[in-house]
Amino acid sequence: MKLKFTKMHGCGNDYIYFNCFEQQVADPEALSIRLSDRHFGIGGDGIVLICPSDVADAKMRMFNADGSEGKMCGNATRCIGKYMYEHGLISKPEMTLETLSGIKILKMTEQDGKIASVRVDMGKAILKPSEIPTRYEGDTAVSVPLTVDGTEYAVTCVSMGNPHCIVFVDQDVNTLDLPKIGPSFENHDMFPERINTEFIRVIDDHTLQMRVWERGSGETLACGTGACAAAVASVLNGYCPKGEDITIHLIGGDLNIRYTDEAVFLTGPATTVFEGSIEL
Q: In this predicted model, what pLDDT tens digit does every residue of 133-149 receive, in sequence order?
A: 999 999 999 999 999 99
E strand or H helix at 254: strand 253-259
The pLDDT tens digits for 147-196 are: 999 999 999 999 999 999 999 999 999 999 999 999 999 999 999 999 99
- Write down the pLDDT at residue 60: 98
Confidence grade of residue 113 (pLDDT, cut at 50, 70, 90)? confident
Q: Say if residues 92 and 28 touch (Cβ distance below 8 Å).
A: no
Residue among 212, 201, 204 nearest 244 (CA): 204
Catalytic residue, candidates 73, 165, 228, 240: 73
Q: Say if residues 128 and 199 touch (Cβ distance below 8 Å).
A: no
Helix then strand count (H, E) for the chain reads 4, 18
Taking residues 57-76, report their average pLDDT: 97
Catalytic residue, candidates 79, 165, 223, 240: 223
Taking residues 55-77, report their average pLDDT: 97
Whether 51 sits among the annotated catalytic residues: the reply is no
Residue among 187, 198, 190, 177 nearest 146 (CA): 190
Scored b (16 or more CB within 10 A) or e, 10-21 reads bbebbbbbbbbe
Whether 223 sits among the annotated catalytic residues: the reply is yes
Distance, in Å, from the CA atom of 37 to the CA atom of 97, rounded to the nearest integer, reads 27
The structure's pTM equals: 0.94
Distance, in Å, from the CA atom of 133 to the CA atom of 156, rounded to the nearest integer, reads 12
Output the DSSP codes for 194-224. Answer: --EEEEEEEEETTEEEEEEEETTTEEES--H
Residue 105 CB partners (closer than 8 Å, separation 6+): 94, 95, 96, 97, 120, 121
